[in-house]
Amino acid sequence: MKLLLDEAKRVFRLDSIWTQHGPEHWQRVEKNAIMLAADTPGCDLEVARAFAILHDCRRRNEGRDPRHGARAAEFARQLYKRGMLPLEPERLALLMHAMSDHASGQVSGDPTIGVCWDADRLDLPRVGTRPLIKLMSTRAGKEHSRQV
């Protein structure tokens, strides 16, 4: 994961000191993903950790940036092609789907995508927003959102 983090930092264009979407956020999302995955059967932890590190790395601004997830997914595809993201094609597709749609306000029945989205949403208080239980996909995410 260190290699992914280094690559994500390399392409990140926002001010790393003032951003709410940069490396500190990614590391909190990764911590959340590890916690949620432990209580979510069927979650692919490696995919969830890669999501945490890469999902916001292609943002262009701190505000509305509806294509940032799709750009992050494309970046993941590039890393995969360069041999820097050792996932089978199905797992890469899962990661890319999680990244492309993570800011669309959906929930997922897939345990891995659910953990990805819930891990990100559990860090919403950084921008002054409480995560909504109805937008949490996993049982663990719902439980933890009550404590935030």
CA–CA separation, 70 and 132 (whole Å): 24
CA–CA separation, 67 and 125 (whole Å): 22
pLDDT for residue 145 is more than 90:
yes
Q: Which sign, positive or negative, has the C-alpha torsion 144, 123, 125, 118?
A: negative
Report the top-level CATH class of 2-145. Answer: mainly alpha
pLDDT for residue 79 is more than 90:
yes
- Residue pLDDT, tens place only, 27-68: 999 999 999 999 999 999 999 999 999 999 999 999 899 999
pLDDT band at 140 (very low <50, low <70, confident <90, very high): very high
Q: Given this model, what pLDDT does residue 16 score?
A: 74
- Residue pLDDT, tens place only, 82-103: 999 999 999 999 999 999 999 9
**Those residues with Cβ within 8 angstroms of residue 22's Cβ, 6 or more apart along the chain or in another chain:** 12, 14, 16, 56
Q: Given this model, what pLDDT does residue 148 score?
A: 81
